[in-house]
Copies of this chain bind each other. A is one copy, B any other.
Amino acid sequence: MQIPNHNRAARVNELVTRLREKGHRITPQRLAILKLLVENESHPSVEQVYEQIRPDFPTTSLATVYKTVNMLKEEGEILELGFANHSSRYDSNRPYSHPHLICIHCQDIIDAEVIEMAEFPDTLTEKYGYQILNHRVDFYGICPKCQMEAQKPE
């Protein structure tokens, strides 16, 4: 586990405070979504958040999760990884551009702590005139687990 549990609790509290300051109400549903997102290292989808929230909030709906997640995105508190023809995945622990490793078999997504992109924006602005705001670096491949399962096919 890369982030200690007490740090996660602290992040939830910070999040609640910051959202309240910005005029957002903290409903039980939202608190549950926040906790789940912060505690979850696996970049969950809205659907997954919804399924895990449901035991505690049986009447909640996908629409509510979507609305909360969009609010968090607009406040810059989560990073959205959108895909064509797949649901978006969310990272609330590192809500800034950073590289990912994505398994094309099981859709596993992990953070890759290797690549430093900091120097590129200036170069790109010089060469192409683009003002760079953020970036996205994804490496697609097969995760170790799927590689193993491919080798013993029974």
A interface residues (Cβ-Cβ under 8 A, vs B): 80, 82-85, 88, 101, 103-104, 110, 112, 114-115, 120-121, 123-124, 127-144, 147
Contacts and interface: CB of A to CB of B under 8 A. Distances in A.
Given A112-B127, A128-B144, A130-B139, 17 more contacts: A82-B84, A82-B85, A101-B124, A101-B128, A101-B130, A101-B132, A110-B128, A112-B128, A114-B120, A114-B124, A129-B143, A130-B143, A131-B142, A134-B141, A135-B140, A136-B136, A136-B137
A138 B136 contact: yes
Given A115-B120, A124-B112, A141 B131 contact: yes
Nearest to A125: B141
Given A114-B120, A120-B114, A142 B133 contact: yes
A132 B80 CA distance: 22
30 contacts: A82-B83, A82-B85, A83-B84, A84-B88, A101-B124, A101-B128, A101-B130, A110-B128, A112-B124, A114-B123, A114-B127, A115-B120, A121-B141, A124-B139, A128-B144, A129-B143, A129-B147, A130-B141, A131-B142, A132-B139, A133-B140, A133-B142, A134-B139, A134-B141, A135-B137, A135-B138, A135-B139, A136-B136, A136-B137, A136-B140
